Amino acid sequence: MIAWALQLRAFVLRDFVTDVSYRVSFAISVLDALAGVGAYYMLSTMIGARPGGYDAFAFILTGLVMNSAMSAALVCHSQAIRASQQSGTLPLLAASPLRSRRLLTLSAGYPLLRASLEGALYLCAGVWLGVTLRGAGLAGALLVFAVSLGAFSAIGMLSAACTVVWKRGDPIPWLFEAASWLLGGVFFPVELLPAPLQAISRLLPITYALDAIRPALLSAAGIGEILNGALPLVAFAALALPLAFVAFDRALARARAEGTLRQF
């Protein structure tokens, strides 16, 4: 456990140093997040509705937080693999004592940490603009957020497996993110969709993530109610993560057998 923590620390510090070395880009990303919150706040004041029984801005804000976390989880694994391919370090990493599953998990440490901090920044900006968060549901919200990252990461790992084999995994996160953004209840309630699209929305993890995290943060739902709403999300993560790890292991094995680990 200590060795795992030290390895995670090394990966996070490496990616953090790389990230902040581009100071202008880092600052712009923070300003972009704040500008996005401000823009959606102004939009919500014009709408004036109460989607799902919540304040419009609070509804959109929680959707923005979860969508941002999902976006990071969908691409961070394939981006790490792609960077290793381009730098020529993927064969070295694949031959290291680290198991491929641990390598895949560690490479996502900093991107997911940054996405979490970005989500906290969104919420702080929202509170400053008048959103009321219910502290009683914070523990449940954090639990839902963690499970959501696991569910989203499973899709991201499948994209990473495609990147190892075919050198491209971009269509998977793009299609999944587009479907989630449009159908997952990020900016408007799923109930407004036609019945066939509602059925599709129920296949997306973000739908259940938002169904669970909004009551936790905005109406102080009890932990039992939150967990009951999050059960489909937990089931998805429990099934998809092992399958994603197996897919990545097989992708590495195929690339080794074909001698394509050094290609990109």
Domain boundaries, the chain: 2-258
pLDDT band at 46 (very low <50, low <70, confident <90, very high): very low
- Would the pLDDT of 71 be above 60? yes
- Please report, rounded to a whole number, the percentage of residues in the chain having pLDDT higher than 70: 67
- Would the pLDDT of 79 be above 90? no
- Would the pLDDT of 230 be above 80? yes
**pTM of the full structure:** 0.78
Asked whether the beta carbons of 132 and 220 are under 8 A apart, the reply is: no
- Would the pLDDT of 239 be above 90? yes
Mean pLDDT along residues 162-182? 77
Q: What is the mean pLDDT of the chain?
A: 77
Please give the single-letter amino acid code of residue 251: A
| Residue 232 CA: distances (Å) to CA of 45, 73, 148 | 33, 19, 11
Q: Is 260 exposed, middle or buried (0-12, 13-18, 19+ CB in 10 A)?
A: middle
In terms of residues, how long is the chain?
264
pLDDT at 207: 92
pLDDT band at 88 (very low <50, low <70, confident <90, very high): low
